[in-house]
Amino acid sequence: MNQLNRADLVFCCVGVVRFIISHSRAMAFRSLRQRLSLPLRRTVVFPLHFSSTAEHPQLVRDFIRSALCDPNHGYFSQRSASVGVLDQSIPFNQLQGRKAYMQHLDRIYKHSDISWFTPVELFKPWYAHAIAEAILRTTNLSVPLKIFEIGGGSGTCAKGILDYIMLNAPERIYNTMTYTSVEISSSLAERQLQTVGEVRSHLSKFKVECRDAADQDGWGNVEQQPCWVIMLEVLDNLPHDLIYSENQVSPWMEVWVEKREDGESLSELHKPLQDPLIARCADIVDLDDRNDSRKSPFASAARHLWANIFPRPRRCWLPTGCLKLMEVLHGALPKMSLIASDFSFLPDVKIPGDRAPLVSTKKDGMSFDYSSYLDAKGDADIFFPTDFWLLERIDHHCSGWRRQHDNRATKKGKKRRTIMLDTSSFMEEFGVPAKTKAKDGYNPLLDDFKNTKFYLSVPTHNTK
């Protein structure tokens, strides 16, 4: 069976479980009246808690990248051991129910200096096994299997996938496959080699490239063969940009971060849209209704009048880091298939703006959320909800189809077949849910991850 037919079959099978999560994004974002309390002025001043290395104004995405990844004072540099590794799998079938599971987690966190355990770690090996099964059902097994994982963490996902393929796929698939982890952290790269190396035969198929996946030069020549790209909890930490508008009809402006002359505070500086990456992302997001120009003059005048009487500032976070990464991946791996998993919404976000991040730190074993992203000073994680419908638009745009479609220069079909599944649907389709179920039927993998989704995207030849 060729790759197209396999992909069509799998997507038809799992299409019946596609649905929109019933939880409203209102849980993740405050009302506009609560969120947009900033005064209508050019500059907003915040206390200076984070010593940025930039002496000149910088875009918000660069500030966030520094706050997270700066080698001297970035969060991931200071918390290199923040991603936990469990000594052994959780015995779900031996736990009575939810209370017993939460008590088990509490003991794990109390006995380790760990900020968090990823889902692939909490539910190992079953989480990774489900991903491997999805790959085996969809891939073209007549060519060597190539897998790239972006941000492989501790290596638990890589080892789980290699284990599953070794035990469940034809021997030639395992013997000829390659698994490449693209990891920006040198300490995590070393840990991945140790984790995967627990099975000696895996090391001949596995390698770690310590580099930034969003750097085009790191990929070298274009890979013309089919391959898979895995991104688990990667999108939420990618830098975002922030744009601002004084009211409902005023133009959007870029937000920059700068030090004030006193050196004791940071301020937001608003400039006209000019950054190319922000401009491309804003165009994909389609911030302002393009049909507005076709509305009646009366409707347009009424809108402007309403904005003057009841001005409402607007703040919007743009996933420019995601756009840049997807542009690079589509350029380097034009025949890639993609599996990504991340938060679809975040509750109790204090930062204003659409798709705003949660800025959280851990002190004395307790989590604390900041009300400003500028409070991040190397001790706080900054993570964003993923708008999966926007991710799909970015995916299509970077494949070339969205640009062709918007410009109406061609009538060719989509270059990608995509589907979004909530975590429970994905695991029920490709995993073995019984392995993570407690005695009373409670299943944390299916019941507790309502704010996470999987995104699957495969190339298609339906372009005529």
Domain containing residue 170: CATH number: 3.40.50.12710
Are 329 and 353 found together in one domain?
yes
Same domain, 184 and 78: yes
Asked, for residue 293, whether it belongs to a domain, the answer is yes
Q: Which domain holds residue 291?
A: 247-276+286-313
- Domain co-membership, 64 together with 138: yes
Q: Is residue 323 included in any domain, yes or no? A: yes
Contact, 322 vs 394, CB < 8 A? yes
pLDDT digits 0-9 by tens, 278-309: 999 999 998 765 444 445 666 666 655 555 56
Q: Residue 116: its pLDDT value, please?
A: 73
Q: Is 3 within a domain?
A: no
Residue pair 142/172 in contact by the 8 Å Cβ criterion: no
Task: Determine the Cα–Cα distance for residues 212 and 158; give it in Å rounded to an integer.
Answer: 18
Task: With respect to residue 155, please indicate whether it lies within any of the assigned structural domains.
Answer: yes
The encoded tokens of residue 66 equal: 């520094």
- Assigned domain for 38 exists: no
Residues 181, 221, single domain; the answer is yes
Are residues 205 and 294 located together in one domain of the fold? Answer: no
Residues 269 and 172 in one domain: no
Q: Are residues 217 and 260 in the same domain?
A: no
- Report whether the peptide linkage leading into residue 125 is cis, meaning its omega lies within 30 degrees of zero: yes
Cβ–Cβ under 8 Å, residues 85 and 160:
no
Q: What is the DSSP string of 146-203?
A: EEEEES-TTSHHHHHHHHHHHHHS-HHHHHH-EEEEEES-HHHHHHHHHHHTTSGGGG
Whether 203 and 258 map to the same domain: the answer is no
| Residue 42 parent element (H or E) | none
Determine the Cα–Cα distance for residues 338 and 395; give it in Å rounded to an integer: 10
C-alpha distances out from residue 142 to 131, 138, 297, Å: 20, 12, 60
Q: Cβ–Cβ contacts within 10 Å for residue 71, how many? A: 9
Q: Is residue 8 part of a domain?
A: no
Task: Note whether 221 and 267 are same-domain residues.
Answer: no
Clarify whether residues 228 and 263 are in a common domain: no
Q: CA torsion sign, 212 to 225 to 394 to 276? A: positive
**Sign, Cα dihedral of 43, 44, 48, 50:** negative
**Amino acid identity for residue 185 in this structure:** S
Q: Is residue 185 part of a domain?
A: yes
145 CB neighbour count, 10 Å cutoff: 22
At 452, which amino acid appears? T
Regions in the chain scoring below 50 on pLDDT: 1-53, 290-294, 409, 463-464
Hey, which residues does 452 pair with through a beta bridge? 343
Tell me what pLDDT residue 462 has. Answer: 52
Are 355 and 216 within one domain?
yes
Query: Which of 313, 330, 359 is the last residue in one of the domains?
Result: 313
**Residue 209 shares a structural domain with residue 338:** yes
Q: Is residue 332 part of a domain?
A: yes
Count: domains in the chain:
2
pTM > 0.85: yes or no: no
- pLDDT at position 46 is 34
